[in-house]
Structure 1
Amino acid sequence: MMAPLGPRVPQRGNAFSRGLGRLVLRLMGWRVDGGVPDAPKMVLIGAPHTTNMDGVIAFAILISLGIRASTMIKDSAFRGFGGVVLRWLGAVPVNRKSPKGVVEQSVDAFNDNPQFVLLLAPEGTRSAPKAWKRGFHHVAYGAGVPIVAAAIDYQRKLVTFGPPLQPTSDYEADVGKLQDYVAAHSSPRHAERLSKPIADRQGRPWSGGGGSSSED
């Protein structure tokens, strides 16, 4: 069952937009189990990422829950009317030429806002990566905010939210817990594109980065 948002979570939309999001999910046959913790700031990750459909499902879930979530996008994409739309969608510009890297700029975004949810894909690609990217953990640890994993199950058409994890200096232990949760609560649309940590935990063969490169 989809859990309602707590009062401290950054929110957007209204009853109409949330109802529309739920309608879209129903039409696609998808369900949500649980929800995010009642916290004003968090890094929200989704995995496994094996298809472009993941983004469509994530957007519908965010609308249905009414979460105001942000993504970090290069600043050159914010020119003109497109920038207005991106900001409305919650995107935050990143200056890749800045002395500050993307991680530091992301930490600044948390520090500059009383409420901020950052949405990231820890695998970074749909092409069977050997490992998860470390950036999401560095951001959460640097900002002192919890990480919440959303596991995508294509077999059951179900997305579940795991318990919040407060990151520590032990990257391997922290990320291992997140990967354990995702592996136990997910099934991919394209198994050949699974990241090695999830493939190993699910007892599936890893394609070694040779997953299909089709558009889906």
Structure 2
Amino acid sequence: MKRLIGRFVLWISGWKQLSPPPNEPKYVAIAAPHTSNWDLVLLLAIAWVNRVKLSWMGKHTLFRWPLGWLLRRFGGIPIDRRSRHNVVEQMAEVFRKAKRLVLAIPPEGTREHAEYWKSGFYQIARLAQVPIIPGALDYARKEASAGPAILPGEATLVADMDRIRAFYAGKLGRFPRLMGPIRLREEDALGEEDALRAQLKSSASSDQPA
């Protein structure tokens, strides 16, 4: 039934899927760009068509009676932010225990304009040792697509983000004015560290006797 509903939603809205679902049992799926509530409708339709169960994180208090069972049925994973284990550690543990798990994360953390992506998707994938799959909803062309698998740790953070930026280049959300740059605060910190190292190296060289 879900598959039929998903196909109907894509058909009536004029959307098409460009790439098959990733052949990975466990991964973190980037859901971007996120500028509208319709993103969730389309994302669920695509997941249902491909028989992929999407999971998402929610505050643990949302999962109490009477709605807890329903939220879990629709892929909800309760996260306790008060725990001594932070969100990244909690989700990494969930990944370790699961045989199959697709965790969808909108990295902007909001439908409004954001200057930075939140790095939780990257940190979770790295600690859980699962790949990141970029997923895009391009409203300009009404096309849904999935990018290459990226395993954090095989390259540098900046190199991984460059691959993600390349995949999303030219893809527009429903409200393009709400889209922000694809970057992490950690990248800025790395840039500052590199600049400091270069400055220290330059200073050390200038202190050498002629």
TM-score by length of structure 1 reads 0.80
Aligned to 1:135: 120
Aligned to 2:151: 166
1:115, 1:197 → 2: CA distance? 28
- Letter of the 1:183 counterpart: A
2:103, 2:166 → 1: CA distance? 21
- Asked if 2 retains the 8 angstrom alpha-carbon contact of 1:36 and 1:148, the reply is no
The RMSD of aligned alpha carbons is: 1.4
- Asked if 1 retains the 8 angstrom alpha-carbon contact of 2:138 and 2:173, the reply is yes
- Letter of the 2:165 counterpart: Q
TM-score by length of structure 2 reads 0.82
Q: For 1:147-162, what aligned pairs fall within 5 Å after superposition?
A: 147-162=132-147
Q: Choose which of 146, 155, 162 in structure 2 pairs with 1:176.
A: 162
Q: For 1:1-216, what aligned pairs fall within 5 Å after superposition?
A: 16-168=1-153, 170-184=156-170, 186-197=171-182
| Percent identity (aligned) | 36
- Letter of the 2:178 counterpart: R
Unaligned runs of 5+ in 1: 1-15, 199-216
Aligned to 1:5: none
1:176, 1:146 → 2: CA distance? 16
Aligned to 1:205: none
1:188, 1:86 → 2: CA distance? 26
2:39, 2:54 → 1: CA distance? 16
Q: CA deviation at 1:23?
A: 1.1
- Letter of the 1:173 counterpart: A
1:197, 1:113 → 2: CA distance? 30
Greater Rg, structure 1 or structure 2?
2
Moved more, 35-44 or 95-104: 35-44
- Letter of the 2:11 counterpart: R
User: Number of paired residues?
Assistant: 182
Unaligned runs of 5+ in 2: 184-210
- Letter of the 1:180 counterpart: A
Moved more, 70-79 or 35-44: 35-44
Q: Secondary structure at the match of 2:168?
A: helix
